[in-house]
Amino acid sequence: MTPSSPVFIFDAFGTLFDVHAVAREHAAAIGPEAERLSGIWRSKQLEYTWIYARADRSGPLVVPGFREITRASLMYALSLCGLDAALAPRLLESYQRLPPFPEVRDTLTQLKARGARLAILSNADPDQLDDLVSNAGFDGVFEHSISVAAAGSFKPDPRVYALGPEVFGRPANEMMFVSSNRWDIAGAKAFGYAATWVNRLGLPDEYSDLSAGRVLTDLAGLLTNASQ
């Protein structure tokens, strides 16, 4: 690994870790609304972060951490689906040990073996991110685990994307930002990163003025021309 080694900065949720695994794990307890619950939970979780990313911090507003946002969005989803709020503690506990997607471990191992420098840039609170990494057995894989808490905001606030150049001491256009969330790719591109969209769901492209750059179906595609 040298100062010129390729740098990959990964989003966590939906990119490295499967956010819908919780609903599958507890499908029997949740019942037929499991898939719907998971979708609403995730969409509200993101919606809340976008609102707080734009919030005026000069007033009395206290911006919650991602753990609280995750809890609040789950409570909304449970209510909307007509489900018992007593389910929340076990679902939130499972959220702390989200499994990585099947190809993630091997891909990260091979990238690191080739000399790449790896980091996570996530909305997760610092301790939440540490738990995810540790519970997945990824200790020592990432040179940096970067929480948005260091910027006091959430994606897609430019202050969040600025954390990558700060920790690596390199301009954004010399680093590859990798996310399964197209809006996250758009935010990273607007900041100046090279970017790879991991389009796990086969969604149509959008944000035509903020090109996704490389488009992959899973993370393993990074092993082709990994220096890009």
Catalytic annotation, residues? 11
Q: Is the dihedral of CA 182, 98, 51, 60 positive or negative?
A: negative
Rg (C-alpha) for the chain, rounded Å, is 17
Q: Does residue 145 contact residue 119 with C-beta atoms inside 8 Å?
A: yes
Half-sphere exposure of 131 (CA within 13 A, CB side): 13
Contact 184, 46 (CB under 8 A): no
- Please list, in sequence order, all residues whose beta carbon lies within 8 angstroms of the beta carbon of residue 80, skipping any fewer than 6 positions away: 40
Report the b/e string of 38-54 with b at 16+ CB within 10 A.
bebbbebbbebbeebbe
Answer yes or no: are the C-beta atoms of 146 and 120 closer than 8 Å: yes
Task: State the Cα–Cα distance between residues 171 and 158, nearest whole angstrom.
Answer: 14
Kindly report the backbone phi and psi dihedral angles of residue 24, in degrees, each rounded to the nearest multiple of 5, phi listed first: -70, -40
Question: What are the beta bridge partners of residue 178?
Answer: 10, 196
